[in-house]
Amino acid sequence: DAGVTQSPTHLIKTRGQQVTLRCSPKSGHDTVSWYQQALGQGPQFIFQYYEEEERQRGNFPDRFSGHQFPNYSSELNVNALLLGDSALYLCASTPGRFGGYTFGSGTRLTVV
């Protein structure tokens, strides 16, 4: 049974560009959350998607947006990349909005 799958695993982008990260949730999970983890810090909540809608959002600017598809997979989009957006981006899925989290291994984004 596959867990949470994220792609790509590593990505290098230039400041000002846009990036799209992808996440496939664990089988049986319908809710996806995204977290940003800067080097040496704990993960920070970005937002959660359930039933194809953003249900809750952390303290992140509108440059961060997302989407959830009917098959429950999700994308995280970041526009106008800044050097400070360099981080590990983690996707987590849950069975329902309040279930136990399963995290993916993340996408390492480097902005140069």
Partner 1 sequence: DAKTTQPPSMDCAEGRAANLPCNHSTISGNEYVYWYRQIHSQGPQYIIHGLKNNETNEMASLIITEDRKSSTLILPHATLRDTAVYYCIVRVEPGAGSYQLTFGKGTKLSVIP
Near partner 1 in 83-102, by CB under 8 A? 90, 92, 97-102
Cα angle value 58/63/64 (rounded, 5°):
45
Number of amino acids touching partner 1 (CB under 8 A) = 25
Piece in contact with partner 1 (CB under 8 A), picked from 12-20, 39-47, 64-72, 78-86? 39-47
What is the closest distance, in whole angstroms, from the C-beta atom of residue 108 to partner 1 in the complex? 8
CA-CA distance, 34 to 52, in Å (whole number)? 14
Residue 100: other Cβ atoms inside 10 A: 10
Q: With contacts defined by CB under 8 A, name the span among 11-19, 48-56, 68-76, 79-87 that binds partner 1.
A: 48-56
The answer for residues whose C-beta is within 8 angstroms of residue 62's C-beta and 6 or more apart is none
